[in-house]
Chain A
Amino acid sequence: MMNLLFASNGIDIGWGTTTAIKTAVVLGTIPAGALILGYVFLLKMMSHMQSRLGPMDPGGFHGWFQLVGDGMKFLQKEDIMPEDADKRVFAMAPIVVLISTFLVYVVIPVGPSLYVRDLNVGVFYALAVSSLSVIGVLMAGWASSSKFALLGALRAAAQLIAYELPLLLAVVGVVMQARTASLQGIVEAQHEGAIFGWDSIGLPFIFTQFIGFGLFMIAAQAELTQPPFDMPVAESELVSGYMVEYTGFRFLFFFMGEFGTAFAFSAIAATLFLGGWTLPGLDMDAEYMKIVGPIVLFTKIMLIAFLMFWARFTYPRFREDQLQKLAWKYLIPLSVINILVTAAFIVWI
């Protein structure tokens, strides 16, 4: 990737350095993305919807420094573990969650050749790897040796497994339409596509796959354990569920994992349904797209995250059995029907 970036200048960078730079970029994006999402939506948008202002002082301008300061505060806290906790599992759990988040960013394309790896099973890889966080959650709940944590972890395990299916099946329709599972290929397909022959804006799959979009957003909300699906971390009953015994930087890892995954899922949704890093009318292979692409994708991510967080602050939470009923009885059949209809359209139209 760096070869292409600097090819015109003739600088030749080896594979090792390239990978190191890519890794650094991704590792930097996770906290940055988490911070941006957390500040804009969790602190500011939620506050304004609740008729209050949110942080205003830290950093001067509307409190932009609040989350950075929070991060620094978490880092300097004492590392407490419950006495009966399983120490190694307790310490490893947030790292597992963070690793699964990191691995999702590997396939997200940000520009013409700005990606870490363009796997040709990109989408399925991303969703498969994000479900590794279930293990981290179970480890956290078990190792905390607290009944509240255990309840939260078991609820989370059931919920995350149940909502994997609608998430995946919703994406199958997109993959069928794009004829490829690689995320870069899906971006191309949307850019090159045409709506009944009118190709000025390409074919963002949200138009044809609106059911898939709805299912994906609902399932993503459940995968992130955000309200209305936040039984595992129900604040008024379990007081953060499986995270209840975590303090300091371990809690910071969970927090970054949650918001980093939100950022990643928004990026995937933007790529699958809104057209990714391209805009209609722009040339996909132009050099300037290497700058404009990330900006475009960032805007689309903000849009999708707005929807996700808006639902988060508005709805009460589902009870565990209602949640499962929704997934198994309504979302999965709906997604299967979506696939059949898409297939019918593709074959006959």
Chain B
Amino acid sequence: MPNLIEDVKKAFGNDVIEIEENYDDVVVRLTKAGYEKAPAILKEQLGFDFLSFIAGVDWMPMPVEAEEGSGDTSQPAQPQEMTFGVTGSASRFQVFSHVQSTSQHVGLTIKVDVDENDMAVSSWTKDYPGADWHERECWEMYGIDFIGHPEIRHLYLPGEFEGHPLRKDFPLLARVVKPWPGLVDVELMPGEGPQAEESE
């Protein structure tokens, strides 16, 4: 593993903002320029031939609809300050991807910050054709553009869908349609309950 950190630092040089080892995995945060050069370097120099996935993450804290102490169990309580994970982040959105080498049995996670005002990073489709569908999904879920992608269009959602669902400020539509019933201790039998008792 230490070998991998050294190799990545040498291959990317100044484009490495932070690199860290994390639970059998190495996480590296690159600059946008580094991310653009990344697929070629990863594939040819470092020998990562397998693309696992490309995805996005929105670091904004989860909006809380319930009040403190109301007993609302509709969602787990998340911290309200914006903190970032391993190798940090400089912006609200990040794109992270994972590649693996089938011959040397190592993996690498690559992160890149996405500026909120200019939500675009370069596409990996030239060297890893499988990035096609992953980037389409990332675009439709977060709104991040991928420069150089042959054709960004919706993957999961119907063509006329508006909005980007995985962003934290996009509500979970199931809750909007039908509010969470709250904590239900015991399901009453039909015929029981306050109304039934009144009619006796």
User: Quick check: do A and B touch in the complex, using CB within 8 A?
Assistant: no
Interface residues of A (CB under 8 A from B): none
Interface residues of B (CB under 8 A from A): none
